[in-house]
């Protein structure tokens, strides 16, 4: 694919191709917006367009050696850094101790980035480093990284990708050209997902994806829902203590429970099953609560999501969420 094939992000693409047309590619950019809407895809294809050997207009050819190497992550001048890759490379597990909820970029990751950036491009036009989940840096890493941003090496581009840009220090954010990405409209979402999702599941998954096709494609949302329902039932019946594996799981569980609460409000008003996003009427039937109480619960889930970074204690969170959910769901 090429930059132009990134679906549903016309505004971002316009800005990106503008930088190519004017030959004014910045040295640092921040791609921000929800998970699963195409930020990383756009970053990779932007890198291809910059280093393409036979660009088509202001986009990549998607055929030359450079384009192919970038696609297969073997281009010596283009590096995508993810938390997983850093963890592998630096045995981060040992370094951050046992707590699996606290993966973050350590300072070694920044040193690695600098090492690559300060060499001149090997075969491409620019050295490009794409950092996924860039907001998850520890304080030492962020400070070291700020220095790199203050004095960017020539012919280099750093693209930070973040679903939570507010968590980046202001000092880092202000040095980047910020490009915002938005959830996709229904049609675009369907277009991206149609290759990956069974026709029969499409409507359900489409709703659940809420404009984030990348999430729908990378996860089996149907299985996810079953798992969610199982956990919720255990929670309401008080049968298990804490069924969440890690912070990531709490986060997506809170997302799903928010959708459920939304369903409860809507069903309470319209009484129509077709209005439900999660489509599991069983779990909300018989619930007779005031919309206001449900909305309060919804807001509490959103607040908890915001607190996840502050090392919420898992079992205390579980008990707290149980109390709220029992309050709105017990018949
Ligand atoms: Zn090319």
Whether residues 165 and 241 fall in one domain = no
Domain that holds residue 48: 3-180
Q: How far is Cα 163 from Cα 132, in angstroms, rounded to an integer?
A: 9
Tokens of 255: 């997302």
CA of 245 to the centre of ligand 1 (A): 42
User: Does residue 29 form part of some domain?
Assistant: yes
CA of 126 to the centre of ligand 1 (A): 14
CA of 158 to the centre of ligand 1 (A): 20
pLDDT greater at residue 217 or residue 258: 258
- pLDDT beyond 70 at 95: no
Which residue in this structure is represented by tokens 């055929």?
Answer: 63
Whether residues 150 and 262 fall in one domain = no
CA of 117 to the centre of ligand 1 (A): 22
CA of 116 to the centre of ligand 1 (A): 22
CA distances from 252 to 83, 138, 158, 260, 300 (A): 18, 23, 28, 12, 15
Could you tell me where the DSSP H helices lie in the chain?
10-21, 39-51, 65-71, 83-90, 92-96, 107-117, 139-150, 170-173, 186-193, 202-209, 213-218, 221-237, 247-270, 291-307, 314-329
Q: Give the pLDDT of residue 99.
A: 47
Q: How far is Cα 192 from Cα 207, in angstroms, rounded to an integer?
A: 14
Whether residues 61 and 134 fall in one domain = yes
CA of 101 to the centre of ligand 1 (A): 39
User: Does residue 206 form part of some domain?
Assistant: no
User: Does residue 166 form part of some domain?
Assistant: yes
Whether residues 166 and 66 fall in one domain = yes
Mean pLDDT, residues 220-243 taken together? 80
Whether residues 173 and 252 fall in one domain = no
Rg of the chain over Cα atoms, rounded to whole angstroms, equals 22
Q: Give the pLDDT of residue 286.
A: 59
Report the candidate in 297, 293, 289, 208 with the shortest Cα–Cα distance to residue 256: 208
CA of 302 to the centre of ligand 1 (A): 43
- pLDDT beyond 90 at 278: no
Whether residues 114 and 240 fall in one domain = no
User: Does residue 7 form part of some domain?
Assistant: yes
Q: What is the CATH number of the domain that holds 7?
A: 3.40.50.300
- pLDDT beyond 60 at 98: no
User: Does residue 190 form part of some domain?
Assistant: no
Whether residues 71 and 145 fall in one domain = yes
CA of 59 to the centre of ligand 1 (A): 8
Whether residues 153 and 16 fall in one domain = yes
Q: Give the pLDDT of residue 219.
A: 67
Which has the minimum average pLDDT: 61-75, 146-160, 248-262, 280-294? 280-294
Q: Tell me the pTM.
A: 0.73
CA of 17 to the centre of ligand 1 (A): 15
Whether residues 81 and 173 fall in one domain = yes
**CA angle at 278 for the pair 282 and 225, rounded to the nearest 5°:** 90
CA of 47 to the centre of ligand 1 (A): 10
- pLDDT beyond 70 at 147: yes
User: Does residue 244 form part of some domain?
Assistant: yes
Please state, rounded to an integer, the average pLDDT across all residues of the chain.
85
Cross-strand partners of 178: 30
Which has the minimum average pLDDT: 86-90, 138-142, 211-215? 86-90
Beta strand 177-180 with 28-32 is: parallel
Q: Give the pLDDT of residue 209.
A: 77
Top-ranked range on mean pLDDT: pick from 69-83, 240-254, 258-272: 69-83
Whether residues 45 and 165 fall in one domain = yes
Beta strand 28-32 with 127-131 is: unpaired
Which has the minimum average pLDDT: 16-25, 108-117, 284-293, 305-314? 284-293
Whether residues 29 and 88 fall in one domain = yes
Whether residues 39 and 174 fall in one domain = yes
User: Does residue 146 form part of some domain?
Assistant: yes
Q: How many domains does the chain contain in total?
A: 2
User: Does residue 301 form part of some domain?
Assistant: yes
Beta strand 177-180 with 127-131 is: unpaired
Quote the distance between the C-alpha of residue 129 and its chain's center: 18
CA of 277 to the centre of ligand 1 (A): 41
Report the candidate in 146, 151, 144, 176 with the shortest Cα–Cα distance to residue 162: 176
Which has the minimum average pLDDT: 149-163, 181-195, 279-293? 279-293
């Amino acid at each position: 694919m090429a930059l132009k094939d990134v679906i549903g992000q016309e505004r971002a693409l316009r800005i990106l191709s503008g930088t190519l047309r004017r030959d004014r590619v910045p040295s640092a950019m921040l791609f921000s917006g929800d998970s699963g809407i195409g930020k990383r895809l756009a970053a990779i294809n932007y890198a291809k367009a910059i280093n393409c050997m036979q660009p088509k207009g202001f986009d990549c050819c998607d055929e030359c050696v450079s384009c192919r190497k970038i696609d297969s992550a073997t281009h010596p001048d283009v590096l995508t850094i993810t938390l997983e890759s850093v963890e592998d490379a630096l045995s981060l597990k040992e370094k951050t101790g046992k707590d699996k909820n606290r993966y973050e970029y350590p300072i070694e990751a920044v040193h690695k980035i600098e090492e690559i950036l300060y060499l001149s491009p090997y075969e491409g036009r620019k050295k490009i480093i794409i950092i996924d989940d860039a907001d998850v840096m520890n304080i030492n890493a962020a400070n070291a990284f700020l220095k790199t941003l203050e004095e960017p090496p020539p012919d280099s581009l750093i693209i930070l990708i973040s679903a939570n840009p507010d968590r980046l220090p202001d000092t880092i954010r202000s040095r980047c050209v910020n490009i915002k990405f938005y959830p996709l409209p229904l049609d675009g979402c369907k277009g991206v997902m149609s290759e990956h999702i069974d026709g029969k599941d499409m409507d359900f998954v489409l709703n659940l994806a809420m404009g984030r096709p990348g999430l729908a494609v990378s996860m089996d949302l149907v299985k996810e829902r079953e798992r969610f329902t199982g956990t919720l039932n255990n929670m309401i019946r008080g049968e298990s203590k804490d069924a969440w594996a890690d912070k990531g799981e709490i986060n997506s569980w809170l997302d799903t429970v928010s959708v459920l609460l939304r369903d409860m409000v809507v069903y309470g008003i319209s009484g129509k099953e077709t209005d439900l996003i999660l489509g599991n009427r069983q779990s909300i039937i018989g619930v007779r609560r005031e919309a206001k109480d449900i909305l309060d619960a919804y807001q509490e889930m959103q607040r908890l999501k915001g607190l996840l970074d502050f090392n919420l204690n898992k079992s205390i969170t579980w008990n707290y969420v149980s109390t709220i959910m029992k309050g709105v769901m017990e018949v």
